[in-house]
Amino acid sequence: MRQPPEHKIDIRALKVWKISAVIYHAIFFCIIALLAFFTYKFDWPLWILITGVLLWILSTCLSIFIIPKYRYLRWRYEIFEQEIYIQHGVLILTRTVIPMIRVQHVETEQGPIMKHYSVASVSISTAATTHQIPALSEEDASNLRDRISQLARVDEDDV
């Protein structure tokens, strides 16, 4: 197999992922609480609640404590003169090659949590696909964006 890409994404990605997982699971918890209320009030069968709680525990453990670490370890990217090379995926390892001349546009994005940790994501779009690098330091992200768009400008091919 070809060597994996060289660069890791920003380590603060871990915190961002964990915090957003916590937020999602807080919402999930509210739904569980609502479920418990209905079970109590309308005598719903107990197994619904139990399944819900078990799912919640499992999902919490996985997405807060386990997945982010492995996801971070797997996430790699590298920008060459002619192409972009990305690797990600915890259970399914995915490696993507995007030639620079196929890149249509690049954008950086930053949500509130990412803003707090000064990281941003970079999306690279071709005419057919979009690929996202989830977290780079703000500086790296904007450098990367400018660099890719500079390199991509080289050749005005038809489509």
Partner 1 sequence: MMSERKRLHPIAILFQLFNWLKSSLFLLIILFISVDSFYFVLGLIGYLLFLVVSAVMSWSRFFYLVDEDGLRIEYGVIKRTKRSISKNRIQSIDLTESIVHRLFKLVRVQIETATTGLQAEAQLSAVRLDEGYALRKQLKQVRATESVEGEEEEIANDPQRVATNRELFLFGVTSGGVGIILGSLGVLFSEFAEYIPDTIYDTTWEWFVASSIIVIVSLVAALLILIWIISVGFTFIRYGKFTIKKQENELLITRGLLEKKQLTIPLGRIQAVGIEENIFRQPFGYVSVFAEIAGGSADDQSSASAVLFPIMKKQEVSSFLDTYVPGMSWEEEVSWISAPRAARKYYLFRSIILPVLALAVLWYFYPSFMWIGLLILPIAIFFGWLRYKDTAFSIQENMLLLRYRVFKRMTVQVPHRRIQAFEEKQHVIQRKDKVATLSLSIISQLGGKSFTLKELRTEDIEQLNEWYSTRNNRGKRSSFRKR
Site of interaction with partner 1 (CB under 8 A)? 1-2, 6-7, 78-83, 85, 89, 91-102, 126-129, 131, 139-140, 143-144, 147, 157-159
State the nearest-atom distance from the C-beta of 83 to partner 1, in Å. Answer: 5
DSSP class of residue 10 equals P
How far apart are alpha carbons 138 and 109 in whole angstroms? 10
Amino acid at 20: S
Specify the residue, 51 or 82, whose C-beta has the smaller distance to partner 1: 82
State the nearest-atom distance from the C-beta of 89 to partner 1, in Å. Answer: 7
Q: In a 3-state reduction of DSSP, which class is residue 42? A: helix
Specify the residue, 98 or 106, whose C-beta has the smaller distance to partner 1: 98
Which of 159, 6, 10, 5 lies closest to 97 in space, CA to CA? 5
How far apart are alpha carbons 107 and 65 in whole angstroms? 30
Specify the residue, 65 or 80, whose C-beta has the smaller distance to partner 1: 80
